[in-house]
Amino acid sequence: MIELWERGTTLARVRNRNQRMTTGAGVLGALKIARIRRLWASQVFSAMGDQLYLIAVAWLAVEAVGSRGGLVVAAGSASAVVFGLIGGVYADRWDGRKTMVASDVLRALAVATVPVAAGLGWISVWHLGAVGVVVAGLDSLFDPALQASLPVLAGDPRTLRAANGLMDATRRLARTVSPALAGALAAALPVAHFFTLDALSFAVSGAAILSLGSRFRWEPARGDGTADGAEGLLAGIREAFLSVRQSKVLLWSFAVTGLASAAFSAVIVVGAALLASREFGGNVGAYGLIVGAYGMGNVLSNLAVGGLPIRRPVMLLFCGKAVLGAGFLLLSSAPTLWVALAGAAVAAVGGPMGDLMLLTMIQTGQPPGRIGKVYGLLATISGAGSALGLVLAGFLFAALGPRAGMVCLSLVVVAGAAAGLFRFRGAESRVKPPRTKEGATHGR
């Protein structure tokens, strides 16, 4: 009882201090909070390392086996889809701080084996594929644990939204600047040492999270009826599906997010590269500009949405998906590179509008012991959508042509978002938590 009282008192002090520091300041106000600033800075460094890792894996795999090197990257993507739900279940059961630190340590050790093997001349595509599976599987444990911990670290809804914007911006910012960083580093370091930098970034992340201390409630309360082993795992996965199915807003949002992920893979990853190659000068620089425009729009939108007071998050979520689809449409029909850049930037603005609202709805609308599971389900749907988009791109672009195929997928996203706007135009500003079997509603 004393421990619970102390934790409750600590959280109350945190909440009151956060409200004073973030009033009217949004994202900048969140950065004034030392623990959020420390966590964000470490995740920026970690995200940079992750992007260097992805570049290095693709490069070494292609050098070794040519076009079949894509299978090495695909192994990591498949691992993320498979372990997404599993990671969410255990992230809700275990101490979040210990889970994230352990994930960082294990990922650091896994990627550190690559430069060691390269130095000994033992590196192979099988080794790279195995490392990819391990890293992606641990990502699936770290990410839900982070999302489940943010509400406790933030302390109040506005700080939480700003923190979500900051954390989401790390990945998007890294995606924007890492290609140029990789080019500069390649002039001074062997590509194998990109893995060394990634291992160091995991060490920095783990140290920062460990330094946050144990005064926060890192481990959600676990019900007495929670089973262990395979039975408990399946029960946790089933609980995630039931939670989403019971909320029509979440169910539709997850479906549209899956469609948006498929469209992103087809339009940005494949389609934009084809347009740059065939119509916008025939060089990789044009494609780099399109990706850069998308990344910069993402970062700016993240910072803006994270700092604005939001009264109707459900409407903003579906508006964001509609803007994303409209930007894809503009890119798909762009007659010049400049119009393509504008389309990519418009689409990028819509991404965080939807993603940040959905994250906040999960974090504030689900009980603490269910956030990781539901987020794991979202990550699985998003990953499966991305993979499906790559497959569909091959078939649609061959049958209809790149532009027509891109337009079709973009229209699907716009239609899904428009249907969501119409269906939930009167929805409450906050998604209510699902009811338990006893009929009571879980509260925060």
Q: Per residue in 237-294, pLDDT tens?
A: 888 899 999 999 999 999 999 999 999 988 988 888 888 888 887 766 788 788 888 9
Same domain, 61 and 129: yes
Tell whether 194 and 298 lie within a shared domain: no
Q: Higher model confidence: residue 153 or residue 70?
A: 153
Q: How confident is the model at residue 343, as a pLDDT? A: 96
Residue 190 pLDDT > 60: yes
Question: What distance lies between CA 224 and its chain's CA centroid?
Answer: 32
Q: Residue 349 contacts by C-beta under 8 Å, 6 or more apart in sequence?
A: 297, 300, 301, 323, 327
Q: Are residues 78 and 159 in the same domain?
A: yes
Domain boundary, last residue among 163, 196, 215: 215
How far is Cα 329 from Cα 43, in angstroms, rounded to an integer? 33
Q: What angle do CA 124, 47, 91 make, to 5 degrees?
A: 90
Residues in contact with 89: Cβ distance below 8 Å, sequence separation at least 6, in sequence order: 232, 233, 236, 237, 240, 372, 373, 376
Instruction: Taking residues 289-315, report their average pLDDT.
Output: 84
* Residue 4 clears pLDDT 70, i.e. is over it: no
Instruction: Tell me how far apart the alpha carbons of residues 247 and 366 are, in angstroms, rounded to a whole number.
Output: 11
Give the pLDDT confidence score for residue 214 in this predicted structure: 78
Place of tokens 């850069």: 292
Tens digits of residue pLDDT in 206-215: 999 999 987 7
With contact defined as beta carbons under 8 Å apart, do 390 and 261 qualify? no
Is there a single domain that holds both residue 187 and residue 332?
Answer: no
**Residue 160 sits in the same domain as residue 210:** yes
Contact 100, 372 (CB under 8 A): no
Q: What is the CATH number of the domain that holds 334?
A: 1.20.1250.20
pLDDT number for residue 221: 58
Helices (H), 366-401: 371-400
Among the listed residues 59, 108, 58, 103, the one whose alpha carbon sits nearest the alpha carbon of residue 83: 103
Reported as half-sphere exposure (CB side, CA atoms, 13 A), residue 377 has a value of: 24
**193 and 309 fall within a common domain:** no
β-bridge partners, 316: none
On average, the pLDDT of the chain sits at: 83
pLDDT of the residue at 335: 93
Q: Which domain holds residue 50?
A: 1-215
Number of folded domains in the chain? Answer: 2
What are φ and ψ of residue 233, in 5° steps?
-65, -50
How would residue 153 be classed by pLDDT, with cut points 50, 70 and 90?
Answer: confident
Q: Closest Cα partner for 118 from 196, 46, 51? A: 196
Q: Do 306 and 419 belong to one domain?
A: yes
Residue 441, pLDDT > 70, answer no
Residue 318 has pLDDT above 80, yes or no: yes
Q: How is the chain split among helix, strand and coil, in percent rounded to 5?
A: 80, 0, 15
Statement to judge: residues 17 and 158 lie in one domain: yes
In a domain? residue 197: yes
Give residue-wise pLDDT tens across range 83-108. 888 888 888 888 889 999 999 999 99
Over range 349-365, report the average pLDDT: 90
